[in-house]
Structure 1
Amino acid sequence: MSATLRRIILLSSVKRAWNLPPPCLSSAVSRLPISFSSISSPPQSNPSPSRIRTRTPLETQFETWVQNLKPGFTHPDVVAALRAQSDPDLAYDIFRWTAQQRGYKHNHEAYHSMMKQAIAGKRNKFAETLIDEVVAGACEMSVPLFNTIIRFCCGRKFLFNRAFDVYNKMLRSDNDSRPDLETYTLLLSSLLKRFNKLNVCYVYLHAVRSLTKQMKSSGVIPDTYVLNMIIKAYAKCLEVDEALRVFREMPLYGSEPNAYTYGYLTKGLCEKGRVEQGLGFYKEMRSKGMVPSGSCYMVLICSLAMERRLDEAVEVVFDMLANSLSPDMLTYNTVLAELCREGRGNEALELLEEWKKRDPVMGERNYRTLMDEVYFMNKG
């Protein structure tokens, strides 16, 4: 038993000796300062400068404005931010970003500001997108906003019908958003630009009549400019009686006829064959110190010459030259040819010489051409 006990004690002492570190090593380790900062990390490779993406100036400006628009921003804040932008693309980004924020929805002022930015920056696609949103009811109706849309649509041929869609939407609205004088001015002006041929004029004359009736029924008082456009539309279509009716109604609206009014009536009456009445409006205009346009002068001169009222035609030619306006070759040729047919060839030559002195635009070539025509007519 004693031998066995001694053997067990010896084995246990050997195991304890294995578990203890060597005295010299343990003391050395205990004296070493343990510091993770002293362990050097492997050197990090610097990224290549070509892989670093720098922000564009547009992105930097956008982030700056987004930071300026503090949470809870209002409509005036957004409108001020949009108006402060010189870049329409940046303004459009701000407009879209603010629309996505919770608790905010653009009003008519924000859409109006963005529309003007898009139009000024010639971002037509942006403008068309905004128009579709407004027509769909994205914001409340506003006369300035809708007039801006109509002006933009009237300036583009493929959006012409869209302008009348917006106008009809205004007609169906309440009293605060109904068309005003500017609306009718834009639409009538756009229609008259299409009065380039007689057969086309009749197509758009119905629209002019409808707009005129709706303007009166809405209580909108037209000014001289709008009334002149209506008179011009009727005169272009040779509806001179309607044009005269509008002319007589001008005092009822507090409008005074001007040179354009008399000019449209004079041209329309002469083209209709009512030369005497057209001459009367010309004389009334001149008595008030108004000067007709060049086209009005030439239509009147040719009409008088064709009716063999040559003395009056010659008088109008001299009046035209006195106002620094030059007839064209057709007008000169018409008067001179009618004089030759009346047997007044010598007078035609004298008039041609006098007109050459007073008309700096005639030129030597045109003078020679007219001279040959007069000689030819005299020989015949």
Structure 2
Amino acid sequence: MTMPIFSPILRSLLNPTIPFPSKFLLPYLPLTNIFLLRSFSTQNPSNSTKSITPLQKQFDSWVHHLKPGFTPSDVNRALKAQTDPDLALDIFRWTAQQRSYSHTHLTYLTAIKLLISGRRYRQAETLVDEVIAGACDVTVPLYNSIIRFCCGRKFLFNRSFDVYKKMLRSENCKPTLETYALLFNSLLRRFNKLNVCYVYLHSVRSLTKQMKTSGVIPDLFVSNMIIKAYSKCLEVDEAIRVFRELGLYGCEPNAYSYGYIVKGLCEKGRVNQGFRFYKEMRDKNLVPSGSTYMIMVCTLSLDRRMKDAVEVMFDMLDNNRSPDHLTYKTVLEGLCREGKADDAFELLDECRKKDVSLNDRMYKTLLNELHYICRE
């Protein structure tokens, strides 16, 4: 009788003396490991995937809002509805990758404004570079926005003038009054030292000439910046010439116009002419700034015109402008050197009554200095 053929597993089960094949044996696992293995195998596989962030949900929602065949106007509305600049940039980049679509000046302008307001300056600079490289058709508002952004960034100052030159060469995007106002304002921020002023004064002259050549009529704000630039560089004759031209442009000089002229003339040493402009200013009921008052008082005192200096200082106090310590000291020393020490003490007491900012500490300091000068 032929013995049936059994598998090794079955033979070991029928005859206990036959060992169980080792290749079918499972390695020993502790109970805890078996439990962990079982629990891992029964986990929901969806839990291992990364959850969707709220920003991604918003992005997906806006992408679904943009129906196939969307236009730049649709994208522009979607961008304007965003409060998160990063989300706006994602939408801007995603739409640019779609077929049969390209951004226009409208979407670039909105995206740049959103990035600037959200302080994403590097991303805004990237979009600016794309516009300059010709990524879209350009308009005057877009150019002016780029110039405003570049003027506000220290390392992009030269870039703003590059954009301005592109506007000069273009046919449909010539510089406007806003363009020149941005550039003049950017230049004047660098007029902090006299030797630096002369470097940028050439640019002011060139801009002024180009502005007039292109037929752009300056307003009072731009004219005052030009007057200030010339006065800072002590080119007072040029400043007065621009001052006299204000009437040709339909502008009436204001307190800033007169103030820049007065400061320039006083620093130049032309005290009489500066004082005439000051009186003309006061005749029009224009109130000078505190710095204009102080430089006028100090210049008159150093020119030994103490009566006029005291008169201007009282006018300053009547208009709620407070002289600083140096102004008080200059006037009091001038009176003492003319032998009017009693008048100096009376003036100090009277100023203490009128000037709220003249506290006890400053008063005692001025009083001690006055006693010291009188002993000399």
The CA deviation at 1:52 is 3.0
CA distance in 2, matches of 1:284, 1:238: 21
Match of 1:247 among 243, 248, 256: 243
2:20 alignment counterpart: none
User: Which structure 2 residues correspond to residues 236-315 of structure 1 after superposition, within 5 A?
Assistant: 236-315=232-311
CA distance in 2, matches of 1:364, 1:185: 45
Instruction: Tell me the C-alpha RMSD between the 2 structures.
Output: 1.1
1:150 aligns with 2:114: no
CA distance in 2, matches of 1:248, 1:334: 33
1:211-263 Cα shifts (integer Å, max 9, x gaps): 11111111111100000000000000000000010011111111110000000
Match of 2:51 among 39, 44, 54: 54
1:354 aligns with 2:350: yes
The CA deviation at 1:128 is 0.6
User: Which structure 2 residues correspond to residues 337-376 of structure 1 after superposition, within 5 A?
Assistant: 337-376=333-372
1:178 aligns with 2:171: no
Write the letter of the residue equivalent to 1:378. C
2:25 alignment counterpart: none
Match of 1:168 among 154, 165, 175: 165
1:103 aligns with 2:100: yes
Write the letter of the residue equivalent to 2:228. K
Runs of 4+ aligned structure 1 residues displaced above 4 Å come to: none
The CA deviation at 1:53 is 2.0
1:70 aligns with 2:67: yes
Match of 2:228 among 209, 232, 238: 232
The CA deviation at 1:57 is 1.1
Q: TM-score, normalised by structure 2?
A: 0.88
1:214 aligns with 2:184: no
Count how many residue pairs are aligned between Structure 1 and Structure 2.
336
SS at match of 2:216: coil
SS at match of 2:301: helix
SS at match of 2:89: helix
The CA deviation at 1:48 is 5.1
Contiguous gaps of at least 5 residues in structure 2: 1-40
1:298-350 Cα shifts (integer Å, max 9, x gaps): 00001100110000000000000001111011111011101111000111010
User: Which structure 2 residues correspond to residues 40-51 of structure 1 after superposition, within 5 A?
Assistant: 45-47=42-44, 50-51=47-48
The CA deviation at 1:194 is 0.8
1:204 aligns with 2:200: yes
The CA deviation at 1:49 is 6.0
Contiguous gaps of at least 5 residues in structure 1: 1-43
Q: Which structure would you say has the larger Rg?
A: 1
The CA deviation at 1:375 is 1.2
SS at match of 1:177: coil
1:329 aligns with 2:329: no
CA distance in 2, matches of 1:50, 1:171: 60
CA distance in 2, matches of 1:89, 1:82: 11
1:87 alignment counterpart: 84
Q: TM-score, normalised by structure 1?
A: 0.87
CA distance in 2, matches of 1:255, 1:57: 55
Match of 2:113 among 110, 116, 124: 116
